[in-house]
Every structure is written in structure tokens, then in C-alpha cells.
Amino acid sequence: MIKGVFLGLVLLFGGTAVQAAQPQPVELIRSTADYVLKQVRARKAELEKDSSGIYDLVQQKVLPHFDFRIMSRGALGKYWRRATEKQKNEIAHEFQELLVRTYATTLLNYSDQEIEYLPYRGKPGDKRVTVSTRVHNNGGPPIPINYRLYRQSNGAWKIYDVVVDGVSLVSNYRGSFSAEVKKHGIDGLIATLQKHNKQQRGA
């Protein structure tokens, strides 16, 4: 649906940080990047033969840092209030699987880029912050990528949106989700997501 924005998900956890960062939200992104890309590089041939390994890696090390409930609410927009609790849970589940599979597939095609972490503008007491970066590609201008995070009551940070070159992951899906709901209702959107994910699983 929004192929270009998935570059942001890959670059969120890929590349070489060219600038040290101390604030916790930045360190969260950087430490996860270091681990995931190290694994992908070391197991490239294995993962290309059997993609199940990359799905497991993403599930275990990347997705715990995302809040798919909030992302789904943002993507569904005004229709979220009309959905039942069961529908909300189903949408969040299918949306998560959609992003997992798309991200994992893109990750296997990843090539190294440099990530520059821009000066952190958050304050210690902030509950919502944006981590701003620029990704340097050979032969092209740097790509600005911003990560929006919020702090939970236990102090842990969760990502609720990724903005690549001004394009929000959540907002992009809002358009396609809204169009589907207008045509076929919320259950129709769930069915569409389920069908897509089933096809991707090869089921």
C-alpha cells in the first residue's frame, strides 16, 4: 500500500549510527538496530532460504517496541469509535501481521546506510517525544525520518508512528482503511486484511 514508508521501518532498525545519543528513546532505537542488523548480516544466506527466521526476529526484537493498538486507532481514524472491542482487537492483530511481513521482507533486501541522529529536543518529563534522524544514501540527498514515541506509566517507551520524508505510516493507511470501510464496513476491512495476510502466509 505504501511501499516507500516501509523504508522508514527498515531504516529505523538499520544502518550505522554516526552520532552517539544518550536519551532513552534514542538509545532504544539504536540498541535495537545494532542487534537486528547484526543478526541479519550474520544469517543472511540462512534467512533468504527460510524466511520464517526473519519473522521470528522481527516479532521478538522489533515489535515489542511498537504499540499496534494506538497505531490501529490512528489508521482507522473516526471509524475507531464505531468499532466494537472485538473488531478493534481483530484490526490491531491483522495490522500487526501486515506490518511484520512487509517489514521482514524488506529487511532481507536491506543495504547498509548511515543514520545521523539529530539533536534531541525532548525534556526529561516529556511523555511524548520525536526522535529525528537523517539517513544518508549514496548519490542522493539525506532522507529525514522521525519516530514518534510515548512513555508508558512503567517508564517504557513505545513507538506509535514513523514519519518518512514527511509521510506518516499511520496517516497513509488511514486513507486506504477509510476507503475500505466506506465500501464494505469495518468487517469488510477486517476481511480484506485477513485475506491479504493469508495470501502472504501462502495459506
| Average pLDDT estimate for 132-144 | 82
- Model confidence, pTM: 0.82
202: phi then psi, degrees, rounded to nearest 5: 75, 20
Determine the average pLDDT of the residues in 103-116. 71
pLDDT tens sequence across 60-96: 888 899 999 999 999 999 999 999 999 999 999 999 9
Q: What was the pLDDT predicted at 84?
A: 97
Query: Largest alpha-carbon pair distance within the chain?
Result: 49
Local structure of 153: helix, strand or coil: coil
